[in-house]
Amino acid sequence: MTRGLFAHMQVLQPGMFSVVQDLGRLGHQHHGVPVTGAMDEWSHRAANMLVGNADDAAVLECTLTGPAVQFTRDTLLAVCGAQVRITAGDRPVPMGCAVLLRRGVTLAFGERSSGARMYLAVRGGFATTPVLGSRSTYLPGNFGGHEGRALRKNDRVPLAASDPDAPTLALERILVQSGLPFVAAARIDTELPGGSPEGVRFIPGPQWNAFSAEARERFVSQPFAISSRSNRMGYRLEGPGLQLTQPLEMISEATSFGTVQVPPDGQPIVLMADRQSAGGYPKIAYVASADLPRLAQALPGASIRFTPVAQQAAEQAWLDLEDRLALVREMAAHALA
């Protein structure tokens, strides 16, 4: 691998919405600074594992359409998340595995077949300047990531410097000997268990009993559609109206990823990665953390149903995902050995 100290990724085409994200800007919500971070933490972490990174290394989150990019050094990369056709040197590039791409070869994202977001990880991570301890992009505040915004054509995104003492990968020897535009390690199953967003698990929120019995029954028995007005701050849902038993005066309370708020119009909003730090709408539910990655991959118009679970069951679902990710990490390390 070419070990340049100032290597970068050149953006030829930016895609619809490509932003640098890590696991978020923690510890600053009491100052009104949102956490942000990857919408789909599972795919973000899995992509990092495939290239031997720590979970919190910065990756490129691409929404709906991905970019076309080149690298100024041979680069170990991986793509997880939404299923998309990727090519390099007119050859199809596999997802779910480490790929060593030859410098100067164009990596191009093409037609997407399912899901909403792809995650491109590179060995060492993207080395944009951290803000408050994170490289995550927060667009409403215009900070973090690459100049606080989505990527544009001709942007140059810095890569972390290569470790000169790192062992030579077997893929490097194969790339030198083959003359191919890229070589790939063994593919690993990085698919998120669970399938579609039908049946999103939740635990009741603090104002659950403030809603009418009819509203609570509607919430668990009728489908909601993800509105086209949804974004990284929140998924607006369209469906049966959810009404309180009586008007409720509330003091703003802290919010979390997956909080389900209900504004006066009765149409719930699931707060997502770029959520505000506090909110004053009644909270009918919290989406189980294990189901947030699937929800993050759902497209506008998708139908979702809410399924109640006990707190212990929601916690166990998250522990099960952690066990699965530990296995992905082990298999990824073996594939790169």
What pLDDT was estimated at residue 250?
83
Distance of CA 332 to the CA centre of its chain: 19
Write the DSSP symbol of residue 210. Answer: G
pLDDT, residue 1, reads 45
Tokens representing 89 are 């040197």
Residue (of 218, 214, 203) closest to 311 by Cα position:
203
Q: Which residues contact 39 (CB under 8 A, 6 or more apart)?
A: 21, 61, 117, 232, 272, 273, 296
Instruction: Give the residues of the chain that fall short of pLDDT 70.
Output: 1-5, 164-168, 195-197
Q: What is the token pair recorded at 280?
A: 């004053």
SS3 state at 201: strand
pLDDT, position 337:
80
CA 321, 325, 331, 335 dihedral sign is positive
Could you read off the pLDDT of 311-323 as tens digits, one per residue?
Answer: 999 999 999 999 9
- Residue that has been written with the tokens 């300047």 in this structure: 129
Summarised one tens digit per residue, pLDDT across range 136-189 is 999 999 999 999 999 999 999 999 987 765 655 789 999 999 989 999 999 999
Q: How far apart are CA 148 and CA 66, in angstroms?
A: 19
- H-run or E-run covering 234: strand 234-238
68 φ, ψ (degrees, to nearest 5): -120, 125
